[in-house]
Amino acid sequence: MPTFYGTEIASRMMLGTAQYPSPKVLADAFRRSGAGVATVSLRREASGGGNAGQQFWSLIQDLDVAILPNTAGCHSVREAVTTAQMARELFDTRWIKLEVIGHADTLQPDPFGLVEAARILTDEGFQVFPYCTEDLVLCDRLLEAGCEVLMPWGAPIGTGLGLNNIYGLRSLRAHFPDVPLVVDAGLGLPSQAAHAMELGYDAVLLNTAVAKAGDPAAMAEAFAGAVAAGAAGHAADPMPPRDMAAPSTPVLGKAFLE
Amino acid sequence: MSKHVTIRGSGVAGLSVAAELTARGHPVSVVDPAMGPGKQACSWWAGGMLAPDCEGFLAEEPVVRLGRDAADWWQDKGAQVIRRGTIVVALQRDARELDTFARRTQNHRWLDREALAAAEPQLGGRFSRALLMTDEAHLDPRRTLLALKARLGDAGVAFLPEADDRGQVIDCRGLAARDTLPELRGVKGEMVILRARDVTLTRPVRLLHPRFPLYIVPRGDGVFMLGATQIESTDRSHATVRSVMELLNAAYALDPGFGEAELLEIGVDARPAFPDNLPRVCRVGDRVHVNGLFRHGFLLAPAMARMAADVLETNSKPELWHEDHA
């Protein structure tokens, strides 16, 4: 099971808490998926007074899972840092999922702002979970800045397009064998989550795919099954793909084709 | 024979309960510091859509079923109910949102470009297809609440700023009742009212958008209400620039005629909601509570009023009765 900054989590599934039809459906989704981490946004919810979102956050805290506040909706280093500081106060945690959005339409991370904000927050004692692209050099810089977890996207937030750059994700895994890696964003189907786990990733984080499903709780359970299957498949050391078909039963007594 | 009932709160829940009880012959008084409907109640900022089928896209089944009778109930209470259905559209890039919406909702038919142009000429040129939710209606919330207050006054209902509770108390104070209903939470909504002389929409229009969903409700005389954000926050003090910008942007994308509109009002309030976003009738001590109407005030207040009246008359436990509350 994944360990983030020394805390072991009992599940490889992490769930966002936005866009559900109701808090009750959200709670059902957590229960049926067994997700071990809940990400929570506060940029909009805290506007108009730091505690304005407290009633909803209390419902999340009642889920009894680790809380990972995020800086969703922040488009600059300063916004992200301020939001992280507010999150530390409100949730009493050093964890922060760092999002610095660089492009309003695609919600693509701003790699430069991300590294800068990660450095500032690490210096302030935060334990940063950066939402990043799968760029190897960027990820290297984030580690240098003090991050001990990486959260590359599968595809842009909310698109459900799955794993857009499998080569890049595989390459990250190969270069950083000891860093916890989480595919964050872009997953739409359970099979895509299974694929991420088969690549050797430690966990997946999703939100829209569950929250916007016709039956969010059922979809959360489906994802949990896929994540477990993918992780078990990876652990079992899969056979390499081959071009030559290999019969699984002996062909004694039959003529060779060549 | 009929017992006196004191209703606390004069938003859409309080007035609906008052109207239902008055119609059943109970003497009623309504207690509210504001002495009637106004901007202190979140129903003042409502869209006024009686749209059970659209709401069924996200809401639980009782919302759809119980909301079906709302239009008739309001009309029976003298409200001007406009029954022209709802138009649902999506921008070309989000076309699949519309298919998903159609799959998950009922009582609609597809309009092609010509049919849409015939229904709402300004949309026909901009969207190649739309859904018409055939059984839906809308009303003007403020006009409706004020007319209902006047009608209740004519029927002998007293509106008092404060008073000793007489007889059975029915608490319809919305979020203010959080002092006794701790599960209640606020869900912030922001809205804009504007006058767009170039826009001719005659029925509510919903724009499906993965990030900035919008509805537009015509109020007559070129006035339109744009709504509404939904943020997990109890703040009811200010709308934010970002929220208003998103609403206006979405409206502009729907119809550029909104570009030259006059901004009349920017509104904000917090809707009272329980964790399942369904309303409840419950009893705490000797008070009956009607609360948690969330974004379904005008849609569900009639059904909740009937349930509250049934509780009072027969001590029955209606569908949305919530037993173990406090």
How many other CB atoms are found less than 10 A from the CB of residue A24? 17
Taking the domains of chain A in order of start, what are their residue ranges? 3-236
Strands B214-220 and B223-227: antiparallel
Q: Does A69 touch chain B (CB under 8 A)?
A: no
Is A253 annotated as ligand-binding? no
Q: Does B295 touch chain A (CB under 8 A)?
A: no
CA–CA min distance B153, chain A (Å):
37
Is A186 annotated as ligand-binding? yes
**Can you give the pLDDT of all 326 residues of chain B as single tens digits?**
578 999 999 999 999 999 999 999 999 999 999 998 999 999 999 999 999 999 999 999 999 999 999 999 999 999 999 999 999 999 988 999 999 999 999 999 999 999 999 999 989 889 999 999 999 999 999 999 999 999 999 999 999 998 877 789 999 999 999 999 999 999 999 999 999 998 999 999 999 988 888 999 999 999 999 998 999 998 888 999 999 999 999 999 899 999 999 999 999 999 999 999 999 999 998 899 999 999 999 999 999 999 999 999 988 888 888 875 44
- CB-nearest to B275 from A24, A48, A49 is A24
Q: Which of A17, A30, A44, A105 is the best substitution to test chain B (most B C-beta atoms within 10 A)?
A: A44
Q: Cα(first)–Cα(last) distance of chain A, in Å? A: 48
pLDDT digits (tens, 9 = 90+) for B252-277: 989 999 999 999 999 999 999 999 99
Q: Does B240 touch chain A (CB under 8 A)?
A: yes
Q: Which of A221, A234, A222, A163 is nearest to A192 (CA)?
A: A163
- CB-nearest to B276 from A24, A49, A214 is A24
The Cα–Cα gap between A132 and A142 comes to: 9
Q: Using CA coordinates, name the residue in chain A closest to B104.
A: A214
| CATH match for A3-236 among 3.20.20.70, 3.40.50.80, 1.10.3720.10, 3.30.70.2660 | 3.20.20.70
Residue A74 in this model has a pLDDT that exceeds 50? yes
Q: What percent of chain A has pLDDT over 90?
A: 79
Which member of A24, A97, A212, A254 is catalytic? Answer: A97
For chain A, state the CA radius of gyration. Answer: 20
Place of tokens 């270069």: A175
* ipTM of the complex model: 0.86
Strands B185-195 and B262-273: antiparallel
In this complex, do A45 and B186 lie within 8 Å of one another by their Cβ atoms? no
Q: Does B99 touch chain A (CB under 8 A)?
A: no
Q: Using CA coordinates, name the residue in chain A closest to B230.
A: A19
Task: State residue A199's pLDDT score.
Answer: 96
Cα dist from B269 to A50, B162, B184, B188, B223, whole Å: 17, 23, 15, 6, 20
Q: Using CA coordinates, name the residue in chain B closest to A105.
A: B211
Task: State residue B60's pLDDT score.
Answer: 92
How many other CB atoms are found less than 10 A from the CB of residue B1? 4
pLDDT digits (tens, 9 = 90+) for A204-257: 999 999 999 999 999 999 999 999 999 999 999 998 888 777 666 666 666 665
The Cα–Cα gap between B114 and B127 comes to: 10
- CB-nearest to A158 from B210, B238, B275 is B210
Q: How far is CA A181 from the centre of its chain?
A: 8
Under the phi-then-psi rule, with left for phi > 0, alpha for psi from -120 to 50, and beta for the rest, what region is A177?
A: alpha
- With contacts defined as CB-CB under 8 Å, which chain B residues touch A55? 185-186, 232, 234
Q: Does B138 touch chain A (CB under 8 A)?
A: no
Task: State residue A123's pLDDT score.
Answer: 96
Task: State residue B326's pLDDT score.
Answer: 45
User: How many CA atoms does the CB half-sphere of A30 hold within 13 Å?
Assistant: 24
Q: Does B237 touch chain A (CB under 8 A)?
A: yes
In this complex, do A24 and B277 lie within 8 Å of one another by their Cβ atoms? yes
The CA-based angle B226-B231-B233, given to 5 degrees, is 125
Are the CB atoms for A161 and A106 separated by under 8 Å?
A: no
Are the CB atoms for B289 and B180 separated by under 8 Å?
A: yes
**Is the Cα dihedral A115, A120, A121, A122 positive or negative?**
positive
Is A208 annotated as ligand-binding? yes
Are the CB atoms for A137 and A97 separated by under 8 Å?
A: no
> Tokens at residue A112, please?
């430069």
The Cα–Cα gap between A167 and A157 comes to: 20
Are the CB atoms for A177 and A140 separated by under 8 Å?
A: no
Residues in CB range of A50: below 8 A, 6 or more apart: A86, A89, A90
Q: Which structural domains are found in chain B, ordered by start?
A: 5-74+139-184+275-322 (3.50.50.60), 86-134+185-273 (3.30.9.10)
- With contacts defined as CB-CB under 8 Å, which chain A residues touch B243? 44
The Cα–Cα gap between A20 and B74 comes to: 30
- With contacts defined as CB-CB under 8 Å, which chain B residues touch A25? 276
Write down the pTM of the prediction.
0.89
The Cα–Cα gap between B310 and B297 comes to: 19
Positions of E strands within chain B: 5-8, 28-31, 49-50, 86-90, 108-112, 129-133, 137-138, 158-160, 168-171, 185-195, 205-208, 214-220, 223-227, 262-273, 280-284, 287-291, 321-322
Q: Using CA coordinates, name the residue in chain B closest to A21.
A: B58
- CB-nearest to A22 from B234, B238, B275 is B275
Is A165 annotated as ligand-binding? no
Positions of E strands within B34-179: 49-50, 86-90, 108-112, 129-133, 137-138, 158-160, 168-171
Task: State residue A247's pLDDT score.
Answer: 65
| A97 a catalytic residue | yes
In this complex, do B276 and A23 lie within 8 Å of one another by their Cβ atoms? yes
Q: Which of B212, B233, B246 is the best substitution to test chain A (most A C-beta atoms within 10 A)?
A: B233
Place of tokens 């009686």: B50
CA–CA min distance B74, chain A (Å):
27
The Cα–Cα gap between A171 and A248 comes to: 32
Q: Does B96 touch chain A (CB under 8 A)?
A: no
Element (H, E) at A45: none
pLDDT digits (tens, 9 = 90+) for A26-54: 999 999 999 999 999 987 787 766 677 88
Q: Does B235 touch chain A (CB under 8 A)?
A: yes
Is A106 annotated as ligand-binding? no
SS3 breakdown of chain B: % helix, strand, coil, rounded to 5? 35, 25, 40
In this complex, do A53 and B233 lie within 8 Å of one another by their Cβ atoms? yes
Cα dist from A42 to A45, A76, B67, B102, whole Å: 5, 15, 33, 32
